[in-house]
Amino acid sequence: MFCFQCQETAGCTGCTKFGVCGKSPDLARMQDLLIYVTKGLSEVTTRLRNEGKKVADEVNNLVTINLFTTITNANFDDLVFYERVAKTLSTKEELLATLENKENLSEAALWNASTKEEMDEKSSKVGVLATENEDIRSLRELIIYGLKGMSAYMKHANALGYDSEEVNAFMQSTLAKTLDNTLTADDLVALTLETGKVGVDAMALLDSANTGTYGHPEITKVNIGVRNNPGILISGHDLKDLELLLKQTEGTGVDVYTHSEMLPAHYYPAFKKYSHFVGNYGNAWWKQKEEFESFNGPILMTTNCIVPPKDSYKDRVYTTGAAGFAGCTHIKGNSEDDKDFSQIIEHAKKCKAPVEIETGEIVGGFAHNQVFALADKIVDAIKTGAIKRFFVMGGCDGRAKSRNYYTEFAKAIPQDTVILTAGCAKYKYNKLPLGDINGIPRVLDAGQCNDSYSLALIALKLKEVFELEDINDLPISFNIAWYEQKAVIVLLSLLYLGVKNIHLGPTLPAFLSPNVAKVLVENFGIGGITNVEDDLKMFLGEK
Ligand code: FS2
Ligand code: SF4
């Protein structure tokens, strides 16, 4: 196996024997094969579009879910990948038969298999290392990881009935281009930036889907203690699943708690009406082994990040959507009519109430609309010098000890600065007593990693208010913690919006070859992190 798509990759170069995440070599090659056949399908759909034909929603959704399923920590079930490869091949064959021009199609578009053995054989030949030139490989993977992140936004938007032919067509034509050996490194650099542009569109679509369906997030205090009823813990990012679960648990005596990236669901007005929607339990994804144990009730994983579960609670872990783990029950279905969580609810009724692991509240809900409502106050604080700088510290959390840097950084920044955050990175500092500035909390949480769009909109709004020509003239520093591929599309989107000097940590992506890293450093000022003291001086312009 060879996988280097996430920050935790072994030795900061690549997982070759077993994934640090728990991905086995067999699973890794089946994920590679799923990406390969999805590229083949995308080449065919792109040609069909060029021939003026419409591509069906189910085909677009298949491409989206295939990409999403291969995101780090989303799905560990080998069987899902065999089934999905077979489905993708049969869909592709059907579409291929309708294609008028079949000349010069790539091998990926023409390859077919009917047995598991044929799939196994192919799967070991189509991984990342099949591209020999390290710069082309680096750029192709940078684009593919960006598309994987984009697929997550699209999947969530699709679940709420929102879609975009432009984004789907771009995702598929771009996947097809990663098969094209005539494209140069320069072509791929241009395609990388275009991916960032469409990333902004996909984020905007998801934002419309979420806020159009559930209202605009508003300032909310979220309880982190527990009650005495049995509970269901819902994790991941899918708000539609949460809505269905809340409806189906109403009046059953079972409470619902959020975990990790589901925390920001509490900020939406639509979910506030549920009195059994109690609070948030635990921290970021990587602490789930201890926290799922003490939760006592069933856990529903709607997306990444799954940590391979311990036997002691594995029977309480359920998955749905793109998430999966062999041996855990998967709840099928896509919509209100066919997603039935009754099995989980009955399971919960037989469980003890959660063990309280902390008490108190955390405050969030500072997505763009809420921040714009506070704009006068914030602008005033900036003008009077009460707020001197913002630090965008969104992104991901992870198990590496080196990530304690972000806790220390949050503690060390001057009292007249404010943290803007989104994603599970916030758990490194969202329970610290960092106080407020004239009533504005010093940590403004916009929501999930999927809501990073809000951070960009806030920056653009400040640029407009202060009548600046360049977003980089704002007193905003970007010190972003990354882990998986959604962070890649956020990064590409920020680059497209013209943001420079973004610092990424705790390590730079292993998939950036020295030459590609050089392009990012020279053109965008991308940098890594060193230590809190030196970095703080650098951000504050003191060295
Ligand atoms: Fe956190 Fe994990 Fe949100 Fe990432 S829950 S690192 O994949 O998606 O952010
Ligand atoms: Fe390794 Fe990350 Fe790939 Fe898992 S997803 S195999 S940890 S690089």
Q: For the residues of 143-154, what is the DSSP string, one character each?
A: HHHHHHHHHHHH
CB of 88 shorter than 6 A to ligand 1: no
CB of 68 shorter than 6 A to ligand 1: no
- Centre of ligand 1 from the C-alpha of residue 377, in Å: 31
Closest Cα partner for 26 from 76, 72, 68, 83? 76
Among 406, 483, 485, 488, the mutation site with the greatest number of ligand 1 atoms within 8 A of its Cβ is 483
Q: What's the pLDDT score for residue 336?
A: 63
Task: Tell me, rounded to whole angstroms, the distance of Cα 467 from its chain centroid.
Answer: 32
Q: What's the pLDDT score for residue 338?
A: 81
Take residue 434 and report the two structure tokens written for it.
Answer: 């960092």
H or E element at residue 436: strand 436-437
CA 52, CA 54: separation in Å to the nearest integer? Answer: 7
Going by pLDDT thresholds of 50, 70 and 90, the confidence category of residue 51 is: very high
Asked if pLDDT for residue 190 goes beyond 90, the answer is yes
Atom of ligand 2 nearest to the CA of 22: 4
CA 540, CA 502: separation in Å to the nearest integer? Answer: 14
Beta-strand pair 361-364/443-445? unpaired
Write down the H helix ranges in 251-287: none
Task: Tell me, rounded to whole angstroms, the distance of Cα 525 from its chain centroid.
Answer: 24
The residues facing 390 across adjacent strands are 418, 476
CB of 305 shorter than 6 A to ligand 1: yes
pTM summary value: 0.98
Closest Cα partner for 411 from 366, 445, 443? 443
Largest CA distance in the chain: 69
On the CB side of 272, CA atoms within 13 Å amount to 13
Task: Tell me, rounded to whole angstroms, the distance of Cα 392 from its chain centroid.
Answer: 17
Count Cβ atoms below 10 Å from residue 105 Cβ, excluding itself.
17
Take residue 450 and report the two structure tokens written for it.
Answer: 């999927």
- Ligand closest to 149 (CA) is 1
Take residue 447 and report the two structure tokens written for it.
Answer: 């929501």
Take residue 486 and report the two structure tokens written for it.
Answer: 């959604």
- Centre of ligand 1 from the C-alpha of residue 425, in Å: 8
Cα R_g (the chain), whole angstroms: 23
- Centre of ligand 2 from the C-alpha of residue 16, in Å: 9
- Ligand closest to 397 (CA) is 1
- Centre of ligand 1 from the C-alpha of residue 423, in Å: 7
Q: Supply the residue whose CA is at minimum distance from atom 3 of ligand 1.
A: 449
- Ligand closest to 31 (CA) is 2
Q: What's the pLDDT score for residue 334?
A: 77
Query: Residue 527 is which amino acid?
Result: G
Across 311-336, average pLDDT:
94
Question: Which residues, in sequence order, are CB contacts of 373 under 8 Å at separation 6+?
Answer: none
- Centre of ligand 1 from the C-alpha of residue 6, in Å: 11
Looking at every residue in the chain, the average pLDDT score rounds to 97
Q: Supply the residue whose CA is at minimum distance from atom 3 of ligand 2.
A: 3
The residues lining ligand 2, judged by C-beta closer than 6 Å to any ligand atom, are: 3-6, 8-9, 15, 19-21, 23, 72
CB of 152 shorter than 6 A to ligand 1: no
Closest Cα partner for 188 from 131, 140, 129? 140
Take residue 469 and report the two structure tokens written for it.
Answer: 């020509």
Is 351 annotated in a binding site? The answer is no
* Residues belonging to the chain: 543
Going by pLDDT thresholds of 50, 70 and 90, the confidence category of residue 335 is: low
Q: What's the pLDDT score for residue 159?
A: 95
Going by pLDDT thresholds of 50, 70 and 90, the confidence category of residue 461 is: very high
Q: Name the DSSP letter for residue 395.
A: B
CA 386, CA 197: separation in Å to the nearest integer? Answer: 34
Asked if pLDDT for residue 542 goes beyond 90, the answer is no
Count Cβ atoms below 10 Å from residue 247 Cβ, excluding itself.
11
The residues facing 3 across adjacent strands are 15
CB of 367 shorter than 6 A to ligand 1: no
pLDDT digits (tens, 9 = 90+) for 124-151: 999 999 999 999 999 999 999 999 999 9
CB of 285 shorter than 6 A to ligand 1: yes
- Centre of ligand 1 from the C-alpha of residue 147, in Å: 16
Going by pLDDT thresholds of 50, 70 and 90, the confidence category of residue 40 is: very high
CB of 89 shorter than 6 A to ligand 1: no
Count Cβ atoms below 10 Å from residue 413 Cβ, excluding itself.
23
How far is CA 115 from each of CA 40, 85, 96, 535, rounded to the nearest angstrom? 18, 11, 20, 54
Is 261 annotated in a binding site? The answer is yes
CA 48, CA 90: separation in Å to the nearest integer? Answer: 16
CB of 302 shorter than 6 A to ligand 1: no
Atom of ligand 2 nearest to the CA of 72: 5
If DSSP codes are grouped into helix, strand and coil, which group holds residue 280? strand
Across 358-363, average pLDDT:
97
pLDDT digits (tens, 9 = 90+) for 504-518: 999 999 999 999 999
Query: Residue 198 is which amino acid?
Result: V
- Centre of ligand 2 from the C-alpha of residue 195, in Å: 23
CA 147, CA 183: separation in Å to the nearest integer? Answer: 18
Going by pLDDT thresholds of 50, 70 and 90, the confidence category of residue 521 is: very high
Atom of ligand 2 nearest to the CA of 6: 2
- Centre of ligand 2 from the C-alpha of residue 72, in Å: 6
Is 449 annotated in a binding site? The answer is yes
Asked if pLDDT for residue 42 goes beyond 90, the answer is yes
Weakest mean pLDDT among 80-94, 325-339, 439-453: 325-339
Task: Tell me, rounded to whole angstroms, the distance of Cα 442 from its chain centroid.
Answer: 24
CB of 60 shorter than 6 A to ligand 1: no
Closest Cα partner for 244 from 277, 206, 285? 277
Atom of ligand 1 nearest to the CA of 483: 6
Is 424 annotated in a binding site? The answer is yes
pLDDT digits (tens, 9 = 90+) for 425-436: 999 999 999 999
Across 241-259, average pLDDT:
98
CA 340, CA 336: separation in Å to the nearest integer? Answer: 8
Is 518 annotated in a binding site? The answer is no
Q: Name the DSSP letter for residue 335.
A: S
ipTM above 0.90, yes or no: yes
- Ligand closest to 72 (CA) is 2
- Centre of ligand 1 from the C-alpha of residue 209, in Å: 20
Going by pLDDT thresholds of 50, 70 and 90, the confidence category of residue 239 is: very high
Question: Which residues, in sequence order, are CB contacts of 532 under 8 Å at separation 6+?
Answer: 405, 408, 409, 412
Query: Where do the domains of the chain lie, and which CATH numbers do they carry?
Result: 10-213 (1.20.1270.20), 220-349 (3.40.50.2030), 365-539 (3.40.50.2030)
Asked if pLDDT for residue 337 goes beyond 80, the answer is no
Query: Residue 430 is which amino acid?
Result: N
Strand ranges (E), 295-377? 299-301, 317-320, 329-331, 361-364
Across 218-234, average pLDDT:
98
Asked if pLDDT for residue 463 goes beyond 80, the answer is yes
Going by pLDDT thresholds of 50, 70 and 90, the confidence category of residue 453 is: very high
Take residue 412 and report the two structure tokens written for it.
Answer: 């060390």
* Residues 397/8, Cβ–Cβ less than 8 Å: no
Across 51-74, average pLDDT:
98
Beta-strand pair 440-441/329-331? unpaired
Count Cβ atoms below 10 Å from residue 492 Cβ, excluding itself.
26
pLDDT digits (tens, 9 = 90+) for 391-413: 999 999 999 999 999 999 999 99
- Ligand closest to 480 (CA) is 1
Q: Supply the residue whose CA is at minimum distance from atom 2 of ligand 1.
A: 305
Beta-strand pair 476-481/389-392? parallel
- Ligand closest to 426 (CA) is 1
How far is CA 484 from each of CA 149, 252, 366, rounded to the nearest angstrom? 8, 37, 23
Closest Cα partner for 1 from 516, 18, 111, 201? 18
CA 136, CA 144: separation in Å to the nearest integer? Answer: 12
* Residues 424/285, Cβ–Cβ less than 8 Å: yes
CA 486, CA 5: separation in Å to the nearest integer? Answer: 11
